[in-house]
Structure 1
């Protein structure tokens, strides 16, 4: 066997190990996120995460140095998922007015909070007791999320499409509506008319701007 072939096999083996590690890490993060959504920070333990992922607790420390490390990664993963979904919705709408774009983003956010990723609502919309160490990181995550809406609102104001005296206040009110939507359109409620209810929430939220 040539040196090059041996190196290729070693590289492929290393890649497989890396992929396997990434899959296991993603599984751990997904499990931790689920527990956080159900029980909050205080109710989550590494023992529970290890049991639900069917691995030894000691193995967790090969992936995460502590509970806070794991929680931080889970929260960032949720943030990234939301931002990716909002960005995809923007791209699907394409060249649209600020009103149309904002309506699409509001609709997508309600979908995220009530159907596609309800754990986001549990973690961010109605936060339970979080350690002080998470205050600044969560503020930063919220600001990144807020920017997706702020950019559209600022464009609407600049174009004369929106009439808003104070963008910060209007956006805070919008997030309040979205947070409440995650409670109102929760699983088991409005199952028959969810699309209609979501449409009504979007129409109500838009009145803050037009």
Structure 2
């Protein structure tokens, strides 16, 4: 953790050394190597994944990870984050009908810190073991961050009341609209812990609670972008 905080990405070093050893030992194909190391490779920027693939295979046309493998990893991260969030916030959401019999906490959410930091919101949510979509999404963001998932962004809808997390796409995104969703939707994944759901972002119009056209969401926090 100290090395990570100092800007030294240990897992990148580990997977690079693994690639050197596997190539020199003629132990495996790159596809096999990438499948075994997909979780770490998915955390790297695309150019670094491609550099490892080019070194291993000797071909600059070899993708670091195929789009399908990236989506598989993003979905795996989202599934785990939803599970861990709903375990931590086991009393559920007072504004979600299916959570009513879980003993959803009736608390004054306005009394919590006015912080917009997902880490502080998640800490509060874990204390009361529940919350609304903001608390659930902030907690999922923190869970994803702790498991090393990247790139991740914490979004809130501008024209409706819902918050969620998106995984994928290297580079800054401050606003997401319908045009951007059409361009990037197939390469990103939504993690919606409040709704106990995760899915490819292109399905936002049919799966995201509160969705209404035109789609417009703002990113309030990101990691690994």
- TM-score, normalised relative to structure 1: 0.41
Larger Rg: 1
Q: Which has the higher contact order (CA 8 A, sep 6+)?
A: 1
More helix as a share of residues? 1
Greater share of strand: 2
